[in-house]
Amino acid sequence: MPSAGETTALVRSFYAQRRARLSPTDLRAIAPICSALEAHNSKRALLLVDQLLKKSPADPSALALKALALSVSSSAARVDVLKVVDTAKAANGGAALGDADVLMLLTHVLRSVGQGDDALELLAEAVKKHPDNEDLSTEAFLQHVRANDRKGAQQTALRMSKHFADDRYFWWSILSTILAVRDLANPNPDGPLLLSIAERQLSTRYASSSSSSSSSSTAGGEGGKDVEGAGYKTADEFHLVTRVLELRAQYSAAAASSPTSASSSPLVLPSLPRSTTTTTTSSSPASTLVAHFSSPEADKWCATNLGLELWRREATLAYGDAGAWEREVARLAGALEKGDTNWHTMLYLIRLSVALASSTRTSSSSASPSSTSPSSAPSSDAPDHLSRARTLFRHLATEGPKAKVERGYLLGLVELAREAHAHGWSDYEPLGPLVEEYVTRFGTKACCFDDVRPYLEVLGDEDAAALRDVLREVAGGAVQTIPAATKVINAHKMLRFLSGETTAEGEKAAADEFVRRYFEAMPLGKDLPTTELQPADDFALLAGQALVSAFHLSHDRTYLERAIVLAEHALQHSKYKYQLRLLAINVLRLVGAHSLALAHYRTFGVKNIQHDTLSHVVLARAATFAVEQGSGGGKGGAQAQAGVWEDALATEAWYVGGTREAGDMVVKAFSYGAYVKVEDFAAFRDKLDASLEGALVTLEALRMRVVRGQLDPDDVDEAVEDVDKLVKTAAGQYSDNRDFKTLPDYQPKGGNTIWQQTELAVRQDATWLRAVAGAYARFLSPSSDIIGVEPPSSLTRSETALVAFAQNAQAALVASLDEAPKKEQAAVAFFKEQGELFATALDDSATLPWELVQIVQVAFEGFALLELGINQRLDELASTKAPDQAKHQKRLRAFRNLAREPLKALCVKLTAHGKKVGKERAKFVAGVQDLTQFEALDENRITNVAHAVTESRRSAIEALGFAIHRRTAK
């Protein structure tokens, strides 16, 4: 169903177009209907449109508006909508097929009811009947784009470019070709053919333009000189031509059987010199791309467009030869000498210099995909390029006008040394002293650690030891100013990163030191506004990560509780320190206080694309906490408002709307001529369509519905479709857009990252998704054939048992009356095993609170799935009119009761555990008692945190226990 805002915009657009086409009388007739739809009053709109149709039964506008009104009405059935659409198509001998405005409404309605293919067929039929109707063709093209039908869009745009005079259709055709072939991970088999068509289009266009310009210049006495009109008219035009050339080079590099893939006819472009143009048939696509970027036309457009300039550098490195590299190095060096401080300029000067040195040292004329011609062979002093780059950076870092403030020059020297180290070139400056110099000069910059981290990872043992000696002295310094505090924080981050193996006691000592320095530095921010971050925040973040590490070394939960107390205190003084809040969320989930974690998450105000990148923070294995007080019939109160179910629904709804909006963004970019943005928006839509997090949210929301008992019979068919899609989608087709860099990692190198240490078990991936979706498919469609999969390592022990239970349960559901008892016993063993697992985990002090909850939740989920599977199996038996239906019905009810008893026993154990959890506040306070040595962390504050955590844990356990009791009561 379309959103209210979308419907309003659509109706307003339709009415505005009708004003230019309808008579005043006809316009007045549809005005009240449009007003009712704008006011979201579909009932009144239907009443008015029916009155109009009594007078004019074949009015295309009225029929289209009726279809729209039905599509937004909650009471209308899909079949009614489709019936009105068919009527509109056939009315007046198919007059609607020639009306672009009416078709716009009808196709929108068809898409909104899930008939996107029918919408495209309708437009194709309309264009076929009215090939000269430009508005119809335009609407058809935009609908192909919106539906992501790239082949249809390319064919339509190509026909339009030939049939209509508007110049924009030519660029639509070129851009449609780019979209059709851009996915190199899954190359279009027709890619070379489509690119050759685009080449011919471009050559024809510019050959014609060149001829016109030459004739004009000859008539004006200019001889054979180029004139201004022969070049590219806009940066977008240059961009699209460049993209076609780049795709040619990429397809050529990927085609092992035909590495050059030369054009079959000369490629005529304003950016290719005549000598190149006339010999294009023997030039490779890679060399053509480099020649294009080396032209005066490229200089003109790159000078005013940074994006094009950066693209030129990347293409030259990837596809250029040694001669092209030398020219680009000289150009970039000149830019740096003139004051360019862009890190990209420095980085590509380094990469090109390294490429030259590498090609010379290996006695290779070129390391690029293209061949090197004699005219572009490297000069004899190519090995000196690395030394020249080093000399340039050293001069700029020490004597340049920006040497004191610009860190890029010195970082360039460090990067050069790292490249030399990576290539095994021992005759260049060592890396260690340069890193030390960088830290000494720019240690007061907040980004210092992030700058040098890649180099710390490859630092040798001797260099690391020498650097640690320097850093220890810096780390012991006073923190009386913000720059001094920043330098000390950076030193501690580097020392921690370079530290070797440690112990839980060592990590606790480090955490205590970080906490001490945190409170020591807190006065620096006493006068800052509440919206500003505290200079001492990173000390708290370091302490929290050290405490997490101590927990993993000892499995002593009090370390996690210390981290919670510290994070809660720090966030009161720096509420926008999102990195610290993320750490708090992860740790709170580990200790089972999910409602508190959720409250922190909601302060982020996640919007738009953040649902795709950040929702995993609370939705990963969110079914564990799907039942909260108030949802399963337990006590009401504040906790009822803190359930993760609402966040799952909001995120699931965003994916539906976000995918639609992404398609609209591509359409708008075409419509408004923002051609450079089209491919970016298309890539965004592709990532969103293939989002792994989107698929995980779909499954997690379904798991929650099952556990909460909210999977209505009307929703089962949709669930079957969703699960079937998840099972059939290969792991490689997903795009993992989840952001795990928002929480910086300050743990020692070589070990697990802070994300890995604070996630609920092993990270969910595409194999986890497919395994759990397969388990659900067995209950949603018991008689179907589901191929078993090897349980991936990303499953927890309980989840692995659930997948095995699904196989056994399906076998029992479809078993014959004779075989059923044995198979039912094999399936019911799952519940007994989960009860034993819970008892064992409860006695193990290393078990985390969330793990205990998950064991019971998965057992409950298995029971809920069994009930679902029984209902689905009974429906299957009824539909086939099985002769033993009554006996199977009795058997399956007994099967359900057989599974209920061990689950009820497990519920008793959980309830008893929940009562003990409610009394653990004093234990929490005692476990973190040593934090009271810091005045700000007095016992009252610690007690408040302890109370909140224990209550959150207790309420989650109590709600789950009550939900199980209610479900198994009969």
pLDDT at residue 382 tops 60? no
Q: At what angle do helices 766-780 and 713-728 cross, to 10 degrees?
A: 140
pLDDT band at 309 (very low <50, low <70, confident <90, very high): very high
Instruction: List the Cα angle 361/386/443 in 5-degree steps.
Output: 135
**Each residue's pLDDT tens digit, 779-790:** 999 999 888 888
Specify the number of domains making up the chain. Answer: 1
Summarize the confidence of residues 468-475 as an average pLDDT: 95
Q: Residues of the chain with pLDDT > 70: what percent?
A: 91
- pLDDT at residue 668 above 80? yes
Q: Distance between CA 278 and CA 272 in Å, rounded?
A: 10
In this predicted structure, what is the pLDDT of residue 228?
Answer: 42
The yes-or-no verdict on residue 106 having pLDDT over 70 is yes
Who's near 105: CB < 8 A, 6+ residues apart? 10, 14, 64, 65, 67, 68
**pLDDT, tens digit (0-9, with 9 covering 90-100), for 716-769:** 989 999 999 999 999 999 999 999 999 999 999 989 999 999 999 999 999 999
Q: pLDDT at position 239, please?
A: 97
Q: What is the mean pLDDT of residues 71-84?
A: 79
Residues in the chain, overall count: 970
> Which of helix, strand or coil describes residue 190?
coil
Whole-number pLDDT of residue 636: 39
Above 60 in pLDDT, residue 282? Answer: no
Q: What is the average pLDDT across 12-22?
A: 84
**pLDDT tens-digit map of 795-824:** 999 999 999 999 999 999 999 998 999 999
Q: Is residue 89 predicted with pLDDT exceeding 70?
A: yes
Q: What percent of the chain has a predicted confidence (pLDDT) above 90?
A: 68
Judge whether 113 lies within some domain: yes
Q: Is residue 825 part of a domain?
A: no
Helix 60-71 vs helix 42-55: angle between axes, to the nearest 10 degrees?
A: 160
**CATH classification at residue 200:** 1.25.40.1040
Q: Which domain holds residue 13?
A: 4-214+231-258
Beta bridge partners of 735: 691
Query: Are residues 841 and 797 in contact, defined by beta-carbon separation less than 8 angstroms?
Result: no
* Residue 927 predicted with pLDDT over 50: yes
pLDDT of residue 398 exceeding 60: yes
Number of neighbours of residue 130 by Cβ within 10 angstroms: 17
Q: Tens of pLDDT along 145-154?
A: 999 999 999 9
Q: Express each pLDDT in 188-218 by its tens digit.
A: 999 999 999 999 999 999 987 666 655 554 4
Q: How far apart are CA 682 and CA 346, in angstroms?
A: 31
**What is the per-residue DSSP string for 321-333?**
-HHHHHHHHHHHH
In a domain, 157, yes or no: yes
Q: Between residues 372 and 311, which one has the greater pLDDT?
A: 311
Q: Which residues pair with 691 in a beta bridge?
A: 735
Q: How far apart are CA 788 and CA 771, in angstroms?
A: 8
Question: Could you report the per-residue pLDDT of 404-436, keeping only the tens digit for each?
Answer: 999 999 999 999 999 988 888 877 888 999 999
Instruction: Report pLDDT for 222.
Output: 41
Neighbours of 919 (CB within 10 A): 10
On whether residue 67 sits in a domain, the answer given is yes
Rounded distance between C-alpha atoms, residue 44 and residue 35, angstroms: 10
Rg over CA atoms, the chain:
34
Mean pLDDT of 333-340: 94
CB 855 within 8 A of CB 838: yes
**Mean per-residue pLDDT, 384-405:** 92
Cα 243 from Cα 240, distance rounded (Å): 5
Judging by beta carbons within 10 Å of its beta carbon (0-12, 13-18, 19+), is residue 193 exposed, middle or buried? exposed
The set of residues, in sequence order, having a beta carbon less than 8 Å from that of 773 and lying 6+ positions away, is 699, 723, 726, 727
DSSP string, 304-362: T-HHHHHHHHHHHHHH--HHHHHHHHHHHHHHHHTT---HHHHHHHHHHHHHHHHHHHT
pLDDT band at 230 (very low <50, low <70, confident <90, very high): low
Convert the pLDDT of each residue in 519-528 to its tens digit. Answer: 999 999 999 9
CA dihedral (757, 761, 766, 767) positive or negative: positive
Asked if residue 557 is part of any domain, the answer here is no
- Burial of residue 47 (CB within 10 Å: 0-12, 13-18, 19+) is middle
pLDDT (average), residues 50-72: 87
Residue 117 lies in a domain: yes
pLDDT value at residue 641? 42
Q: What is the mean pLDDT of the chain?
A: 89
Rounded Cα distance, 222 and 678, in Å: 39
Say if residue 281's pLDDT is above 80. no
pLDDT confidence of residue 970? 77
> Could you report the per-residue pLDDT of 590-621, keeping only the tens digit for each?
999 999 999 999 999 998 999 999 999 999 99
473-496 mean pLDDT:
96
- DSSP 8-state secondary structure symbol assigned to residue 691: B
Q: 254-264: string of b/e by CB count within 10 Å (b at 16+)? A: eeeeeeebbbe
Name the burial class of residue 769, with classes exposed (0-12), middle (13-18) and buried (19+) by CB atoms within 10 angstroms of its CB: buried
Instruction: Identify the CA nearest to 179 among candidates 612, 685, 660, 658.
Output: 685
In 3D, which of 561, 662, 598 has the Cα closest to residue 145? Answer: 662
Asked if residue 372 lies in contact with residue 322, where contact means CB atoms within 8 angstroms, the answer is yes
Split at pLDDT 50, 70, 90, the class of 699 is: very high
Residue 505 pLDDT greater than 90, yes or no: yes
**Among 109-118, 218-227, 698-707, where is mean pLDDT lowest?**
218-227
CB neighbours (10 Å) of residue 774? 19
Asked whether 573 and 774 are in contact (CB, 8 A), the reply is no
pLDDT band (50, 70, 90) for residue 588: very high
Instruction: Find tokens 């004093």 and name the residue.
Output: 922
What band does 843 get if pLDDT is binned at 50, 70 and 90? Answer: very high
pLDDT of the residue at 266: 73
pLDDT of residue 634: 41
Cα–Cα distance, 266 to 779 (Å, whole number)? 62
Q: According to the model, what pLDDT value does residue 794 have?
A: 96
CA 324 – CA 317 distance, rounded (Å): 8
**pLDDT value at position 959?**
95
What's residue 364's pLDDT? 43
Question: Per-residue pLDDT for 454 more than 80?
Answer: yes
- Residue 142: closest CA among 114, 98, 103: 103
Partners of 553 in the beta sheet? none
Q: What is the mean pLDDT of residues 534-539?
A: 96
pLDDT per residue as tens digits for the range 434-443: 999 999 999 9
303, with CB counted inside 10 A (0-12, 13-18, 19+), is exposed
103 in a structural domain: yes
With 80 as the cut, is the pLDDT of residue 265 above it? no
Q: Note the pLDDT of residue 598.
A: 95
pLDDT at 218: 45
Query: What local confidence, expressed as pLDDT, does residue 936 receive?
Result: 92
Whether 35 is covered by a domain: the verdict is yes
**Cα–Cα distance between 191 and 169 in angstroms, integer?**
20
